[in-house]
């Protein structure tokens, strides 16, 4: 069974959209999305520097656009026949489009509002996120709570992401949990999936009211608890609440395993989620779409594992 996944914030790098925009029709599609949301996605995906695309209000629409563009280059979702779809954090909106809950324009409109609301919330207090590599999850979580930090992403495969104020993160860097090899600051501009993002929940819920979601046409696995969500209305409700609650990617991967996953493809800018899958889902074939050069190999993998 094939699972199609979309990465979250921090996966973006300067110029990562350049090669994708050279594909037939891609530039026109991105230009239409840019007009719809009032943001020059092509500029930010090709010419902007790391600091510019670190801006939450820019990074989030850019990531969703990249995911949609690369998936479209791979093929029509109905032909790809994934057994399940999921996304990490903002990637959940990309996955909602894959599942038919939102069309592309609605997904970009929603993520534009999400990025702006979360950037506004992040501006209140200087906050950030750091990944803990290695260690025992229970020991790490207890240590984070002692420092006043939130385990904002429980990613599985020995990785937890801590979020909180910059002072709290500095204390973590000086006092790592027992067994943790390294603490790595992430390229994000706020303590996402924590109480610091509470103001963004209402803004996103209000934006969702203007949308008419469809029910998922393929199994949609939620970050909240790793469970499949049956209705479009519940997908939107969870998307709003999730900005202030931890991402449980570990539980998502457990669900993939229970569903019988045999292959996982991560859309552009792929790499993070395939890395986690390689450690947490041994025996599952993985492929990350980083550039169009990866498309042929991805199509071969899809053909071997499709449900269609």
Predicted local distance difference test score (pLDDT) of residue 183 = 95
- Residue 157's pLDDT is 82
Q: Is 308's pLDDT higher than 50?
A: no
> Span 196-224, mean pLDDT?
96
pLDDT tens sequence across 21-39: 999 999 999 999 999 999 9
190 phi, psi to nearest 5 deg: 175, 170
The answer to whether 161 and 109 have CB atoms below 8 angstroms apart is: no
Summarize pLDDT for 110-120 with one digit per residue, the tens.
999 999 999 99
Whether 90 has a pLDDT exceeding 50, the answer reads: yes
Known catalytic residues are 89, 193
Residue 143 scores a pLDDT above 70: yes
Residues 82-101 have a mean pLDDT of 98
| pTM to 2 decimal places | 0.95
Residue 54, pLDDT > 60, answer: yes
- Which of the four pLDDT bands, split at 50, 70 and 90, describes residue 186? confident
Of residues 82 and 159, the one with the higher pLDDT is 82
Higher pLDDT, 207 or 307: 207
| Predicted pLDDT of residue 85 | 98
**Residue 92 confidence class, pLDDT cut points 50, 70, 90:** very high
Domains along the chain with CATH numbers: 2-122+194-305 (3.40.366.10), 127-185 (3.30.70.250)
pLDDT tier for residue 78 given thresholds of 50, 70 and 90? confident
Give me the chain's average pLDDT, please. Answer: 95
Mean pLDDT value of segment 105-129: 96
- The answer, yes or no, to whether residue 296 has pLDDT greater than 90, is yes
Q: Using pLDDT thresholds of 50, 70 and 90, give the confidence band for residue 189.
A: confident
Confidence band, pLDDT 50/70/90 cuts, at residue 307? low
Model confidence over 150-175: pLDDT tens digits?
Answer: 999 999 988 899 999 999 999 999 99
With a cut of 60, say whether residue 247 has pLDDT above it. Answer: yes
Pairing, β 159-165 against β 150-156: antiparallel
């Amino acid at each position: 069974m094939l699972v199609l996944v979309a990465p979250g914030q921090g996966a973006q790098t300067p110029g990562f959209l350049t090669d994708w925009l050279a594909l037939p029709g891609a530039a026109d599609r991105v230009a239409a999305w840019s007009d719809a949301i009032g943001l020059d996605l092509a500029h930010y995906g090709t010419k902007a520097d790391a600091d510019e695309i670190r801006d939450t209000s820019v990074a989030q629409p850019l990531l969703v656009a990249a995911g949609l563009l690369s998936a479209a280059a791979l093929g029509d979702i109905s032909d790809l026949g994934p057994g399940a779809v999921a996304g990490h954090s903002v990637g959940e909106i990309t996955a909602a489009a894959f599942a038919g809950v939102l069309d592309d324009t609605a997904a970009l409109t929603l993520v534009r509002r999400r990025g702006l609301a979360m950037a506004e919330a992040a501006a209140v207090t200087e906050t950030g996120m750091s990944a803990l590599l290695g260690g025992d999850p229970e020991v790490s979580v207890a240590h984070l709570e002692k420092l006043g930090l939130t385990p904002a992403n429980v990613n599985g495969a020995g990785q937890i992401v801590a979020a909180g104020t910059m002072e709290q993160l500095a204390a973590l860097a000086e006092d790592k949990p027992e067994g943790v090899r390294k603490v790595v600051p992430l390229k994000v501009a706020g303590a996402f999936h924590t109480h610091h993002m509470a103001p963004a929940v209402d803004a996103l819920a209000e934006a969702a009211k203007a949308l008419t979601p469809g029910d998922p046409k393929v199994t949609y696995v939620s970050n909240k608890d790793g469970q499949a969500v049956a209705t479009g209305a519940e997908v939107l409700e969870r998307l709003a609440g999730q900005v202030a609650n931890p991402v449980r990617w570990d539980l998502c991967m457990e669900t993939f395993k229970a569903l019988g996953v045999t292959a996982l493809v991560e859309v552009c800018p792929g790499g993070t989620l395939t890395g986690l899958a390689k450690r947490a889902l041994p025996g599952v074939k993985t492929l990350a779409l980083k550039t169009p050069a990866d498309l042929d190999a991805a199509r071969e993998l899809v053909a071997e594992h499709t449900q269609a």
